[in-house]
Amino acid sequence: MSTYKFDELPNTESVASLTSFLISAWFLVAAGLMLVEPSVEQQQRAIASKTPVVTVRQVASYAEQPRVTIEVVAKRDSARLS
């Protein structure tokens, strides 16, 4: 038989510390991205500066449309009211 020994698997403490380190790094990156991201006001100003200014002028005037009244008439069947 061979006397080869497998390397020891990482213990619980090293796995826990690595997991804690990775989660802390993730939150550190997320916090940095939140600080670098432009505010809502800055985003609105950037969009407003890119929006072209349009001037609209009325060419023709249309006569006021007549009002139309729609009367709805319905009949209820008394046999279905029980």
**How many domains is the chain partitioned into structurally?**
1
The mean predicted confidence, pLDDT, of the chain is 79
- Between 31 and 45, the higher pLDDT residue: 31
Asked whether residue 62 is domain-assigned, the answer is no
User: Using CA atoms, how far apart are residues 13 and 21, in angstroms rounded to an integer?
Assistant: 12
Distances (CA, A) of 33 to 17, 37, 38, 39: 24, 6, 10, 12
- Boundaries of domain holding 46: 10-51
- Between 72 and 10, the higher pLDDT residue: 72
* Alpha helix positions (H), 1-82: 12-36, 40-50
pLDDT digits (tens, 9 = 90+) for 18-36: 889 999 999 999 999 999 9
- Between 12 and 31, the higher pLDDT residue: 31
User: Using CA atoms, how far apart are residues 67 and 82, in angstroms rounded to an integer?
Assistant: 40
Quick one: pLDDT at residue 51? Answer: 73
Asked whether residue 14 is domain-assigned, the answer is yes
Residue type, 51: T
Residue type, 11: N
The answer on pLDDT for 75 being more than 60 is yes
Asked whether residue 3 is domain-assigned, the answer is no
